[in-house]
């Protein structure tokens, strides 16, 4: 009998590159991953892994199997959704994850609404960067993910996922109170080309968006302090250490003397928030009600901004 769980292990290994990393995503031990892969090799009847020194590489047979794995995975998700839809009660655990600002503005309101409208659903919320969100989806550790398109996220046509645009989050320039740009009703991004910028390059989806926007405006940002968490970024701006791009979804702390200045001109940075699920899982009752509620919250936010 072919075991789809072992195929999932192979898919995660192909995504992560090492047995240790795959084990971390799957929340099992490396030895358990190796055992599953050995069993899968026996089921298939041909070698799937080749050892090169202290690492392993996928064989041509493994890549051939992976070419079918996306369709098999989607059909299994659709089967699970069909079976679940025949139940009488809407109960279970819905696991959602996303980038920090999407968690605060979208996922937590969704969890609160579902708590009131469907008390049988337990929503688990996790805060992760976009790349990690997709890894959690693939490993079946999350059901819905809110992400930002970035250099290391899957392309829109990736056959493992269904991705849809959920919300367009405009970004403004955040400057200290008293800054020359703070007195203007609007500025262009190029007006801040000589400013010091606050951004953390590593493990930060917003960094890629900042660099891309500045490049489109004709300059490379001079990043002076590596700060990521939005409250800390706002504090750094308030103390005069630089400026930053601040999404509309992120509120300004009342205690920080900063000014949010709208950006105009040919380059107006916008964060596109993507809702991602595993392909084939969209008709599962829990995921369907989660996405429906999420889209309703996003529509209300869009109308209010």
Which tens digits make up the pLDDT trace of 149-161? 988 899 999 999 9
Q: At what angle do helices 4-16 and 130-138 cross, to 10 degrees?
A: 160
CB-side neighbour CA atoms (13 Å) of 175: 20
Residue 130 confidence (pLDDT) above 70: yes
Main-chain phi, psi angles of 93, to 5 degrees = -105, 125
CA 30/CA 58 separation, integer angstroms? 16
Q: Is residue 56's pLDDT more than 80? A: yes
Question: What tokens appear for 257 in the block?
Answer: 């003397």
pLDDT surpassing 60 at residue 87: yes
49 burial class (0-12, 13-18, 19+ CB within 10 angstroms)? buried
Residue 103: pLDDT above 90? yes
| Closest C-alpha to 294, from 271, 266, 272, 275 | 275
- Tell me, what's the pLDDT at 249? 93
Euclidean distance between CA atoms 95 and 202, whole angstroms: 26
Q: Is the pLDDT of residue 171 over 80?
A: yes
The pLDDT assigned to 86 comes to 82
Average pLDDT, the chain: 93
120 in helix, strand or coil? Answer: coil
pLDDT band with cut points at 50, 70 and 90 for residue 289: very high
pLDDT classification of 1: cutoffs 50, 70, 90: low
What gap in Å lies between CA 24 and CA 274, rounded to an integer?
25
Report the alpha-carbon distance of residue 111 to residue 96 in Å, rounded. 9
Checking if the pLDDT of 100 tops 60, the result is yes
State the average pLDDT over residues 128-153. 93
Please give the share of the chain, as a percent, with pLDDT higher than 90: 77
How much is the pTM?
Answer: 0.87
Predicted confidence at residue 5, as pLDDT, reads: 87
């Amino acid at each position: 009998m072919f075991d789809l769980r072992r195929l999932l292990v192979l898919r995660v290994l192909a995504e992560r590159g090492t047995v240790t990393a795959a084990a971390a995503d799957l929340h099992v031990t490396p030895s358990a991953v190796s055992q599953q892969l050995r069993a899968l090799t026996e089921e298939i009847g041909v070698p799937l892994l080749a050892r090169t020194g202290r690492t392993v590489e996928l064989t041509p047979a493994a890549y051939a199997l992976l070419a079918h794995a996306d369709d098999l995975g989607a059909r299994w998700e659709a089967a699970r959704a069909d079976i679940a839809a025949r139940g009488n009660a809407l109960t279970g655990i819905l696991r959602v994850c996303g980038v920090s600002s999407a968690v605060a503005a979208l996922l937590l309101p969704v969890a609160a609404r579902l708590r009131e409208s469907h008390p049988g659903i337990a929503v688990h919320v996790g805060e992760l960067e976009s790349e990690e969100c997709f890894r959690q989806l693939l490993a079946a550790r999350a059901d819905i993910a809110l992400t930002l398109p970035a250099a290391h996220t899957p392309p829109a046509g990736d056959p493992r996922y269904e991705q849809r645009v959920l919300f367009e989050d405009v970004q403004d320039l955040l400057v200290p109170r008293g800054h020359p740009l703070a007195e203007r009703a609007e500025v262009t991004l190029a007006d801040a080309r000589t400013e010091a910028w606050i951004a953390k390059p590593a493990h930060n989806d917003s960094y890629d968006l900042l660099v891309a926007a500045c490049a489109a405006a004709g300059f490379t940002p001079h990043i002076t302090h590596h700060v990521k968490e939005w409250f800390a970024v706002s504090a750094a701006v308030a103390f005069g250490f630089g400026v930053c791009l601040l999404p509309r979804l992120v509120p300004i702390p009342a205690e920080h003397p900063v000014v949010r200045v709208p950006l105009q001109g040919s380059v107006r940075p916008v964060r596109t928030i993507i809702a991602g699920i595993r392909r084939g899982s969209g008709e599962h009752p829990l995921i369907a009600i989660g996405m429906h509620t999420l889209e309703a919250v996003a529509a209300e936010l869009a109308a209010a901004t």
